[in-house]
Structure 1
Amino acid sequence: MTIERVNPPSLHATPGYHHVTKVRADSLVMLAGQCPLLTSGELAEGGLAGQTDQVIQNILLALDAAGAGPADVVRTVIYVASPVREELSAVWTQLNESPLAPAFTSASTLLGVAQLGFPGQLVEIDVTAAL
């Protein structure tokens, strides 16, 4: 498996992700959107930061179950239920300071959305990895 991450010189500089992620792999791993739910099915406490921590833990567990790790991630889409740009930036910073950080060097998208699937849910991340 090879992963090539590129920022073409004709495109703007990024805050850590790459514009293009090219993959040659035997298999792809697509996680369901990972939510801030505990094993019990209850929503993690601690507001946006606490929910983001739980999503990070859930992604790490799901990747491990697939035999993958953060460095194998080739695409992420991060959904934050907020119109406040500073809250989106805070999530991006938290993700990039976590054990999951290598996942966000690939092609990544960060979106503010009106709402997510569970009542009170503030963050969800969609992940694709290559093996």
Structure 2
Amino acid sequence: MTISRSNPESLHVTPGYHHVTVVSAGRTAHLAGQCPLDAAGVLVGPGDFGAQVDQIVANTLVALGSVGTGPEQVVRTVIYVVTADREVLAEVWRRFQASQLASAFTTASTLLGVAQLGYPGQLVELDVTAALPG
């Protein structure tokens, strides 16, 4: 399996992600939206974007590991954040980029401010697609 990432010259410069990700034919894993819930299903960090990102990173690493892959094989991410504040969006992006999941965000990525997510108090959710090895 080969994963290539590129930024066409005529598109804007990105803050770390690539505009285009191409994967040679193979299997993919589509993770359910990763939420800031602990193993008991309890929301982590009510009102705390950073704590929620950290829990989502931990959960995503477990989910990826369960199918024999890791952040370097991620080919698409979508981050949902309950905010209309650009600085909050930027801080969440920076927190993900500084995490153990950072290499996942060098691929095709989208960051969205939304009105509400599924769990009361939930501020962040991450949608991930990864290419699976052989």
TM over 0.5: yes
Q: Which residue of 2 aligns with 1:64?
A: 65
Distance 1:76 1:128 in 2: 7
Q: Which residue of 2 aligns with 1:86?
A: 87
Alpha-carbon distance, 1:25 to partner: 3.8
How many residues matched?
A: 131
The answer for unaligned runs of 5 or more in structure 1 is none
Distance 2:33 2:113 in 1: 15
The answer for unaligned runs of 5 or more in structure 2 is none
> 1:40 corresponds to which letter in structure 2?
A
Q: Is contact 1:25–1:130 with CA below 8 Å preserved after alignment? A: no
Q: Which residue of 2 aligns with 1:42?
A: 42
Alpha-carbon distance, 1:96 to partner: 0.5
Q: Is contact 1:3–1:24 with CA below 8 Å preserved after alignment? A: yes
Misfit runs of 4+, over 2 Å: none
Distance 2:131 2:107 in 1: 11
Q: Which residue of 2 aligns with 1:120?
A: 121
Alpha-carbon distance, 1:26 to partner: 2.0
Per the alignment, in what secondary structure is the counterpart of residue 63 of structure 2? helix
Distance 2:91 2:80 in 1: 13
> Alignment RMSD, CA only?
0.8
Alpha-carbon distance, 1:80 to partner: 0.2
Q: Which residue of 2 aligns with 1:29?
A: 29
Over 3 Å counting, the alpha-carbon distance change for 1:25 and 1:130 in structure 2 is farther
